[in-house]
Amino acid sequence: MGTNYYWYEKKPCECCGREFEAKHIGKSSCGWCFSLYVGEWEGPKTLNEWKERFYRPDSIIQDEYGQIISPDEMLATISDRKRNDPLTWDRENFAMNHAERGPNNLIRHSISKDHCIGHGAGTWDYIVSDFS
């Protein structure tokens, strides 16, 4: 089970007045590194670029249940992760899940050109494909 997070700009577009659509920040799944979305749209490609958006005065972060999340809470969800119990997966589990060992007893995505394009310096992975 996991929780998806979204970033919204509160102000409408200066050109047409249309409200901005939510942008998927990523997903927090128990026992895994955070899946930070850096996909197709013209948006952030690193955690630092996401961080700049989180702290804009005209933005809101919400989880998929509608709860407002502060920028500090969001950053902690991404970068302050750990698993208390030791990881007991064997080679088969990792292969089946396209995963590998991560920091702090976490599981992380294996790097591939079409899903996880890199590992962050901490407890997050850079994901380019759509996911929910």
Percent of the chain topping pLDDT 90: 76
Residue 17 clears pLDDT 80, i.e. is over it: no
Outline where DSSP puts E strands in 1-131. Answer: 2-9, 23-29, 34-37, 59-63, 68-69, 99-101, 107-109, 116-119, 124-127
* Predicted local distance difference test score (pLDDT) of residue 87: 87
What's this model's pTM, rounded to 2 decimal places?
0.90
pLDDT tens for each residue of 66-125 = 999 999 999 999 999 999 988 899 999 999 999 999 999 999 999 998 899 999 999 999
